Amino acid sequence: MSRVHSFFKKEGEKVVCQLCRHYCKLKEGQVGICGVNKNENGKMVNLVYGKVSAINIDPIEKKPLYHFLPGSTSLSIGTVGCNFKCPFCQNWQISQSKDFENSYNVTPKELVDIALNKGCKSISYTYNEPTIFWPFAKDVAILAKANGLKNVFVSNGFETPELIEDAKGLIDAFNIDIKGFKSDYYKKYLKGNLAGVLDTLKLLKKNKFWVECTTLIVPGDNDSDDELRDIARFIAKELDVDTPWHISAFHPDYKVLDKGATPLETLQRAYEIGKEEGLHYIYMGNVMLPSNTYCPNCNELLIERIGYSIRQYKLVDGKCFNCKTKIAGIWR
C-alpha cells in the first residue's frame, strides 16, 4: 500500500499515466489534468492516497443504483480532483479542488471497519471521479472483498482499458454518466471525450460488470429529442435493454447558475423516448416521484420506491414473483 503506483509507462523522459483516457504525458514534477497524479523521480505518485475529502453512509439508491442490493447502505468516499471540468458539477467543492490539507487521513482497514460496523453492504467510490484515485480505491476494494463487502464505482466513464482489466474481480457495479451524445460538447464543455466514454461502457458490459447509466438533463445542452433518443438507442443497442437508465433533473450549481431546473415534462419526455427505444428500466431522479421497477414481461410492480426508500419489494430470488421472469441485477 503506497502512494507510488504502477499505472504508467515510460516514454522517453516522460511517464504516461494509464489511469484515465487522457493518458497524460508528464515531465518530472508535472501533475496530470486530474491534479492528483504526479511524476516524481520517473514514477507515478497518487497525491490523494489515503486522503478522503468526503465520507458518508448513503442508501445505495443514491448512487444511483436501483438493481444492486436494493435497500442496503454503502459507505461512500471521495477525494479532491477530477479529470473532467463539468461547469455544472454538483460536487465541485471537492472535484475541482486541489486542496489536500482539509482531507481526512484514513487507511483501507479503517474504511472497511467503518463499513462493517455500520452494517453497510458495499463501499462506493464516488463524489469525485474515482478513476483518478484508483491506487487507493483498489487497496480498499481488495480488503473490502476479503471481508464480504462489494465495491461500487460512480464514474464519468473515462477509465482506461488497463484500469478496467485491473478492476476485474474487485469492482462489482458501475454507474456511468452519459452526459450527452455530442462529441464537441464533451470536448469543449466537459474537457472529456464521448467516444472514450462509449468505449468504456462497451468494455464494462463485455467484461460482465453490472452497469447502470445516468444522464443529467441540462436544459438547452442535452435535452433535445434527438440527443435523448441517441443516448437511449446506444444503451439499448450497444449495451442491452436491461441496462437501467437514470434520467436526472439538473439544478443550478457551480458555474451554471443562469439556467432553471430541468422541467418535469422534460424527464417525462425522456422516459417515453427510452421506452420507445425498448429500454426496460428507466428511472427519473432528483425529483420526488415514484421510481418503481416493473416486470418487463407481465408489468407487475416489483419494487416500489419513494425517494431513496423502498416501500415494497416483491422479487423472489431475483425473479418476478408473478411470472418468474429473471430481473437483471445483483440482488444479494
pLDDT tens-digit readout, 95-154:
999 888 789 999 999 999 999 999 999 999 999 999 999 999 999 999 999 999 999 999
Specify the pLDDT at position 1.
Answer: 64
Do 120 and 222 reside in the same domain of the chain? Answer: yes
Do 258 and 328 reside in the same domain of the chain? Answer: no
Do 272 and 301 reside in the same domain of the chain? Answer: no
Q: Span 9-20, mean pLDDT?
A: 96
pLDDT category of residue 46 using cuts at 50, 70 and 90: very high
Do 158 and 266 reside in the same domain of the chain? Answer: yes
Q: Span 203-211, mean pLDDT?
A: 98
Q: Span 6-35, mean pLDDT?
A: 96
Q: Per-residue pLDDT for 65 more than 90?
A: yes
Do 83 and 184 reside in the same domain of the chain? Answer: yes
Q: Span 64-74, mean pLDDT?
A: 98
pTM here is: 0.97
Do 275 and 324 reside in the same domain of the chain? Answer: no
Q: Per-residue pLDDT for 19 more than 90?
A: yes
Do 108 and 199 reside in the same domain of the chain? Answer: yes
- In this structure, the number of other CB atoms found within 10 A of the CB of residue 184 comes to 9
Do 175 and 67 reside in the same domain of the chain? Answer: yes
Range of the domain at 317: 290-332
Q: Span 285-292, mean pLDDT?
A: 88
Strand 173-177 with 301-306, pairing: unpaired
Q: Span 304-324, mean pLDDT?
A: 96
Among 90, 88, 100, which Cα is nearest to 34's?
A: 100
Overall number of domains in the chain: 3
pLDDT category of residue 288 using cuts at 50, 70 and 90: confident
Higher pLDDT, 13 or 1: 13
Specify the pLDDT at position 323.
Answer: 98
Do 194 and 57 reside in the same domain of the chain? Answer: yes
Q: Per-residue pLDDT for 85 more than 70?
A: yes
Do 136 and 170 reside in the same domain of the chain? Answer: yes
Q: Per-residue pLDDT for 26 more than 70?
A: yes
Q: Per-residue pLDDT for 225 more than 70?
A: yes
Mean pLDDT of all residues in the chain?
Answer: 96
Q: Per-residue pLDDT for 261 more than 70?
A: yes
Do 248 and 170 reside in the same domain of the chain? Answer: yes
CA 314 to chain centre: 27
Q: Per-residue pLDDT for 2 more than 80?
A: no
